[in-house]
Every structure is written in structure tokens, then in C-alpha cells.
Structure 1
Amino acid sequence: MAFPSSLTLCMFFFFAIFHFCNSLSTSQDYLKLPLLHKNSFSSPAQLLSSDSHRLSVLFSALHGGHRRSVKSPLISGASTGSGQYFVSLRIGSPPQSLLLVADTGSDLVWVKCSACRNCSDYRPGSAFLTRHSSTFSPHHCYDPACRLVPSLKPSFPCNHTVLHSPCRYEYSYADGSTTSGFFSKETATLTTSSGKEAKLRDLAFGCGFRVSGPSVTGASFNGAQGVMGLGRGSISFASQLGHRFGNKFSYCLLDYTISPPPTSYLTIGSGDQNGAVSKSSGMNYTPLLTNPLSPSFYYIGIKSVSVNGAKLPINPSVWSIDELGNGGTVIDSGTTLSFLAEPAYRHVLAAFRQKLKLPIVAMKPKLSFDLCVNVSGVRRPMLPKLSFRLEGKSVLSPPPRNYFLEVADRVMCLAMQPVKTGSGFSVIGNLMQQGFLLDFDKDRSRLGFSRRGCASP
């Protein structure tokens, strides 16, 4: 998912009316939502296709102009080849559970609603049944909230004299995918870290009556009933809950290759992945940068890259954001592989080729991996060690399994791809993020990361 190219947000503070029905026990409560893996990737080719599609949507969106806590499980979309993570959200009265794509690259929370005209999946639980909820209501088209999403073209003009004139939205993605329907409000039922049930009234979300395009109907969306936008905009799930939970969220993605797969978690608030309040010990921080042309994305600044401790001769300008909004590096939960600006990628690729002592394997062209090695008979393959020196004097040093992917029996490939200079930004995907606790602190505009914050499976 990516932020729609045409969206210009008006920053209203109507979210101040959001509140919880029942009180939370302590100031250290937080929300914890599980992120669960289904299976390993179905095929490298499908993974590359899905990532390439998402990347084009993210890049196109760039030029379009746009104290307590809660914890919830994330379910990986790896079985579809997409590498996306899903999260279960309970909305409505009584609550209905829906599976949403957890996406740091977009803002809108939306679900397929029962009136969806072209949704192919009509199994029980495949859509939100508005008629079964006593608390569902669309925003009026004259509500300030309605200005936070792009509206349908003037074929549905707003009539302020009509009591029930709903806010009609149309959220478009750069590949032509859309979701449209009523921008609405509903009660969300959440469970805090202390085990108490809390109800968030007036969660703003899109009730989708029509969805179209590969981003929202293709293989990468299999099993999902909508999207939980976690971006930096005011309508994202993280922002709507942020006022109650310290305006921060975190997640820890555990190794998808383990069977059965362990449960990863999305935490809204100040809790760590083990249920305690997060401490700064062991946490490294780097500033979250802002790109005015793409305000929803979480940018970080890379200063240099090293392989086996040797700094690569990459021009620092490769990592900067230019006056057109190109460049920079985005942390994205919805992309699996990592993508580097081509000049940087070529240096990394050359350094890896030089350092590798394992037999290089030629893969089929359709797989598009530039470097693969045969690790047969090697219990612990010696793979080059990659590290990123970031703004704020922090260093991100992921283990080799975060950037070498086993694409066939005993064949491992470099899970990185090049991005043409000037065509967009570099992306740190969710594979590179595995095993790190990532803490998105929006108030302090910083990203924290630590290998010590993830619970062992």
C-alpha cells in the first residue's frame, strides 16, 4: 500500500474527541496486537513481482503531493508471496474481527463493507457488516473530518440541508487501484497490556463499497479485508490512538523461516515486546526525517555503508533528498526486500562478490537476483556483514539472514535490488528489519532500534 498521490491533508484536531469508554488501570498500559506469520514465501518470482509493484506505487505516490499503549499480533502475508503483515482489528458493536494489512506506507484505515459491489470474497467474516453494528455512522459530508480524505468527483455534491448526507471518499493509489465508499466512524474494541478491554469511540475509517486494482485485489491482498494505515498523517491508526498512548508505536518482526512461525507484535504506546514499559537501555536512535512531498513516509538518513567493516566509496549525495523530493531512505513494513539507490547498490554488490568465498550460482533470469551462492555442505555459511551508519551516530548492523534469502534448496541470494537514481528513494524492507525492535516515536521525531527488544521465539 502507498499513500494516495492526490491527497492533501487538512490538519484538524477533531480526533481530540476520541476517548475510551472504560478507564485504563495505569499510565503504563499500552495496546498489543499480534502480527502472525502464515507460511514462508510461495516463490521468489512472486515475491519480486509483488515488491516491484509496491515499489512503483510508493515511488509514484512521492510525486502526487502528499504514555499508555496497546499491543496487537501481526500476521504475515508471506504465504501469498507478498511479505506483508496482517493485523486483526475488532470494530463495531458487537465487535467484528477483520484482518487488515499493517502498512507504514499509508494513512487511511479502511475495510471492505457488506455493501461492497465487486468484492470477490463473500465468505463469513470477509467484510464488515454495518447493519449488525449499533455504533456505525458515516461522517456527514460537511464534517471537518470529511476534508481529510479525497472525495468522489462532484457527481455526489454535498447537501448541507440533508441530515443524512454521508461523506463519500475515494482513495486512489498510483497504480490505479482504488477503494471508495463512506468515510465513517465506529467503535473499536481493544485490549490493553493490563488485560482490560477498552473501547475507542469514533475511530475514523473508510467503509469500502467498491475496490479495484492490483494493490487491493491482487495476490498480495489475499486474506485481507482492508488496510490499517500506520503512516505519519492524522488519519492513520497510530495517529488516532497516539494522543492516548504517547504518540508512538513499535513492532518486532520475528524470523518467518521458523516453523511454526513465532508471533510478532505491533505495540501502540510505550510498552516493549515483553510486556514491560520500554527502557532506553540498548536502544539506538536516529532522527525521522521529513519529505514535504511525501509526508506520510518514515524517512531515515544514511551517512555511509560498510561491508565487513570497510566503508564503501558511496557519494553521500546518493542518500540525500533533492529539491524534487527524490532520494532519501524509507522504512516500510509492506515491502519485503530492500532497495538501494543504484550507485550504492553497485558498490554493495561488488563488495559482496569480493568477500564471498562460496560458489556463485547462476539463477534463472526471471528471478532477477544479481548474486546467489551455493551453501550445500556448509553448516554456517560465512556471508559478508553489512552495516549502515545513520544520522544520529547510530549503526544498523543486521545479521546476514536479513539480506540473504534462501530461494531454493541450499541456494541463498542477496535480497536487495537497485533503484535508478532520480526515480525515487531507497527502501529498508521488512526482511531487513527482522529481529529488531523498531520504535517509531512521532513526538520526538525519531526511530529507535534494538536487537535486545525482541522476544525470543
Structure 2
Amino acid sequence: MDPHSSSSSSSSSLLLCFFLFLLAAPSYSLPLSVSIPLSLSPPSINNNPSAKTTRSGHYPYQKLAFLVSQSLSRAHHLKNHRNNDVTSLSSHSYGGYSISLSFGSPPQTIQFVMDTGSDLSWFPCTKRYVCRNCTFPGGDKSSLTNPPFYPKLSSSSKVLGCQNPKCGWLHHRNVTHCADCDSDSSNCTQICSPYMIFYGSGTTGGFGLLETLDLPGNRLFPNFLVGCSVFSSRQPAGIAGFGRGKASLPSQLGLDRFSYCLLSRKYDESSQTSPLQLESGLDSGGKTAGVSYTRFAKNPIVPGKEALSVYYYLPIRKITVGGSTVKIPDEYLLTGENGDGGSIVDSGSTFTYMTNPVFKLVASAFENQVKKYSKAEYVESAVGLRPCFNVSGEKEISLPEMRLHFKGGSEMVLPLENYYVLAGNSEAVCFAMVTDSELESPSRDGGPAIILGSFQMQNFYVEYDLRNDRFGFMKQKCK
């Protein structure tokens, strides 16, 4: 059965049950400066490896293999950039970072996974909401599972109409007229068609709402476009879209800048949080002290691949391992006219993805420089990461340094715990980046060549300076 057509039909039937809602509440004007707690979402894994204290934590094989699978599914989703009239981009929540946002009048607070790789924000919605297969390996339920949003309990909820320009934001296309109304009709009551969002490992579907977003400090933003999902599969939490699209939270709030610091993975499932800062109305474009900057690379404009316009492209120009340059061809580091190649940063991905030709060069650089430890091929087969090295009995682990070099001269020096993980009972250490099998279809080799994931960004202050079109970063302990 085609999930696209059946889900659209069921969503449309559900929408007929809704009545018209009252006008939205009054708003407060910018400038805006809001700090929102940012916390880790599941799965629960303790991990805090470093060159000196790598025995303090490790990944069980099952959990590690699961994160590898989810990271690859996410990469395929971002690279395949699927578009159609009822599809928007988003991400899976597993292993991500979450925030709490309040919608409605009176406000209802929902947890969302923060995602810089998509634009639409959506939440589980209505009493009919169903989420199938929304558990983790071993049957653990997501800690992000919370009651759905109830539009009928909010005086500011309005179903999105098909003539509203925001209907085009929802579907990444211009809406010129409604299918069931005359082209010159000015009072068409037809709703905007339902959306279906596809992931590498799940789906969600629903309809667009215009609702009041209630930020801390009594900052109210009426008529905020948000997705009301009535069903999901393998998607146990809503998404807060922080990408470049018109529907994204930064775009709708008119932010000049947002920033965050990703907690170490050792705080999974704890009460520990770090701030997500939202800012607008800035007086100047000054730099944050201690932060290194690089300008965002230009997004490719390719007909039929409009999803690429949502991503944050970074101009990675070189990767070094142990001080030696990995000789990566420009066709992978630069974005081509067809949208293939280049690098993006994505908080919705766990492990960094590299297309196979790039990954092989980087992995080989480590293998050629690591002579102290033997290969642990049995661990590679069990978890899906490579190379893995046998470190059983070692009190301290020493591996070559890895740096990302950006256009303009800034460099990101990755701490060891950001690109290697202990596997099993600490008998092996594995390179914590992923790639497709060499047997994967060549059609999956398009899109971004490098997707910088959240695991590699833990304990970094990260800044998206939208006003000055630049990306900033600084290593620091996040708390």
C-alpha cells in the first residue's frame, strides 16, 4: 500500500472534524534574546573517552551498531533530497538533542528534537495521534514521549488554508490556487493539503496549523506555522526545524543569530542541560570572544533539489590526520552544479557521514599512522564502524590528531573523544564516523559528501550568525 496516498486520505478525513478557531493572541515585538535549556535525547549511552581517561566509558555493541544504522539512514535522507507536493524534510530523533517549546493559548509544552537539517517544526497532535514502532533496541521507550498537542484546547489554533502563502512553505513550492476552488476566489475555505515527511527509518504525516509560539519571558509569536502530525512511524518525538527554509524557527522569528553548546554524550538521559540562545535585534555584527569563524558556503540552486536550500553548507577545504593532509579531490570538497559534493553541518545526525571515496582516504590515513595497536576486525563486523583497534589492557590510548580546515583559515581541532569511541567492554576503540558500503547503489552517492554530525560537535560552542552569514565554533565544556 502506498503510504503517501493512504496517509493523505486519512489526514484529510481527520481535518473535516475540526472547526474554525479564534484569531491568534497579540504579539510582543523584537528585539529578542531567549535562552532555552538544551538536553540530550535517547538512546542512553555512557561515553566519555579521552586520551587519558578512556576507561571511564564505552558503547555496548548493540547500541553502537544502532547509532551507526541511524546515522547512515539520516545521511541517505539528507543526500537523496526527495521533494514532492506533500513532502517536507526532517530528521529522526534518536541520539539527538531536545528542547521544550510551548504552543497555544493557554500554552501546552512539548519536547522537540533540535534539527539544523530541516525547516518545518512539528509536534504529535490531536487525541487520535498514533506512533508505531517508537521504541529503541531492547524495547526502551523514548524519554521524549509526551502527550500530544490538543488544538481544541487552544483558542489560537487555526488550520492552515490552501490560499495562505505559508502553505507553500509547508510543501516547498508556490501555491497559486486551490484545487477545489476557482482561481479568482478570495474566500476559499479549502485547507492546505496534508504533508508526509519521509526519513531514512520512519515517517510522519499531518496538516499545517497556525499557532501561537510562547517563548520564555512572555514572548508571543502568533500565526507561527507548525505541523500537526496525527501519525508517525519510528519517530517518537516532534522536530524543531532550525534549517534555512522559510518555515524554520529562525526564519519565522527573524533571528540574527542562534547558538548552542552540545553536552558530552556521557550525560545521556541525565537532567543536565545547556543553553540554546536565540537572538535578534542585534546592534552590530561583532564577533564573540574566542570564537573562530568561517563564512557559510553558498547553497546550490538545482531544479528539483530545492531541499538543498535548507542545509547549512560549510567550506571544508582540507582534513589533516596526524598533521598530514588527506588528499581529497576537490569534486568532493566543493559543491558541483548538480548539487553533489560539499559539506553540511547537521545537529540531527549523530555520527559524521563521509561519502565512501572520502571516508576510505581518511580511514587509510589513520590505519597507516597507527602502528601500536592491531586491527580489531571482529568489532568492525559487530558494530559497523572502521577502523577499530585492539586496546585491551591499555591504560592510556594515543591516536593521531584530526583537524578540519575551513576556508578563511579557521581550524577545528577535534578532541579524541569526538572522533573515536570505545566499543564493547573497552577492548577496542573505533573511528566514530560512518560511510556507505562499497556495494551501495551509486545513486546514493549524490548530495553532500560530508555531513558533520552532533557527536563530533560535543563540548563545542557553536554559533549560526545568520546576519553575517557565518559559522562560529569554540571548544569548551558544555554545562
Structure 1 segment 359-398 matched on structure 2, within 5 A: 359-362=374-377, 363=379, 365-398=381-414
SS at match of 1:43: helix
Is 1:21 paired with 2:27? yes
1:440 to 454, 464, 469: 464
1:318-358 CA-partner distances (Å, limit 9, x unpaired)? 21111211110110111111122333322221221122223
Aligned twin of 1:129: 150
Aligned twin of 2:39: 35
SS at match of 1:295: helix
1:146 to 155, 167, 170: 167
* Deviation at residue 270 of structure 1 after TM alignment: 6.8
Structure 1 segment 20-419 matched on structure 2, within 5 A: 21-22=27-28, 29-38=33-42, 39-40=44-45, 43-61=63-81, 82-114=94-126, 116=128, 118-120=130-132, 125-150=146-171, 157-158=180-181, 160=185, 164-173=189-198, 178-191=203-216, 196-209=217-230, 211=231, 216-218=232-234, 221-222=235-236, 224=237, 226-241=238-253, 243=254, 245-246=255-256, 248-258=257-267, 260=270, 262-269=272-279, 280-289=288-297, 290-293=299-302, 294-356=308-370, 357-362=372-377, 363=379, 365-410=381-426, 411-418=428-435
2:180, 2:190 within 8 Å by CA — same for their partners in 1?
Answer: no
1:138-167 CA-partner distances (Å, limit 9, x unpaired)? 232212222222299999735757674332
1:95-125 CA-partner distances (Å, limit 9, x unpaired)? 111122211111111122115464458x994
1:59-98 CA-partner distances (Å, limit 9, x unpaired)? 11168799xxxxxxxxx95xxxx32222211111111111
Amino acid at match of 2:120: L
CA distance in 2 between counterparts of 1:304 and 1:104 reads 23
Aligned twin of 2:50: none
CA distance in 2 between counterparts of 1:261 and 1:413 reads 28
Q: Which runs of 5+ in 2 are unaligned?
A: 5-23, 46-58, 135-143, 303-307
Distance change >3 Å, CA 37–CA 141, structure 1 → 2? closer
Distance change >3 Å, CA 124–CA 176, structure 1 → 2? closer
* Deviation at residue 397 of structure 1 after TM alignment: 1.0
CA distance in 2 between counterparts of 1:175 and 1:44 reads 18
Bigger mean CA offset, 259-268 vs 330-339: 259-268
* Deviation at residue 394 of structure 1 after TM alignment: 0.8
SS at match of 1:339: strand
1:36, 1:264 within 8 Å by CA — same for their partners in 2?
Answer: no
SS at match of 1:257: helix
CA distance in 1 between counterparts of 2:279 and 2:446 reads 35
Bigger mean CA offset, 411-420 vs 82-91: 411-420
* Deviation at residue 231 of structure 1 after TM alignment: 0.7
Distance change >3 Å, CA 176–CA 391, structure 1 → 2? same
SS at match of 1:46: helix
Distance change >3 Å, CA 416–CA 63, structure 1 → 2? farther
Distance change >3 Å, CA 261–CA 390, structure 1 → 2? farther
1:151, 1:170 within 8 Å by CA — same for their partners in 2?
Answer: no
CA distance in 1 between counterparts of 2:294 and 2:64 reads 32
1:156-212 CA-partner distances (Å, limit 9, x unpaired)? 735757674332331433659654433221112211xxxx33222221112223x3x
Distance change >3 Å, CA 110–CA 60, structure 1 → 2? same
1:397-428 CA-partner distances (Å, limit 9, x unpaired)? 11111111222111221111235784332111
Aligned twin of 2:446: 423
The alignment's TM-score, normalised by the length of structure 2, stands at 0.75
1:149, 1:169 within 8 Å by CA — same for their partners in 2?
Answer: no
CA distance in 2 between counterparts of 1:19 and 1:358 reads 63
Q: Which runs of 5+ in 1 are unaligned?
A: 5-17, 67-75, 272-276
Q: Please tell me the root mean square deviation across aligned C-alpha atoms, in Å.
A: 3.5
2:317, 2:333 within 8 Å by CA — same for their partners in 1?
Answer: yes
CA distance in 2 between counterparts of 1:339 and 1:151 reads 26
2:39, 2:272 within 8 Å by CA — same for their partners in 1?
Answer: no
Larger relative contact order (CA 8 Å, sep ≥ 6): 2
1:37, 1:262 within 8 Å by CA — same for their partners in 2?
Answer: no
The alignment's TM-score, normalised by the length of structure 1, stands at 0.78
Amino acid at match of 1:132: L
* Deviation at residue 378 of structure 1 after TM alignment: 3.0
2:463, 2:471 within 8 Å by CA — same for their partners in 1?
Answer: yes
* Deviation at residue 386 of structure 1 after TM alignment: 0.4
* Deviation at residue 285 of structure 1 after TM alignment: 0.9
SS at match of 2:148: coil
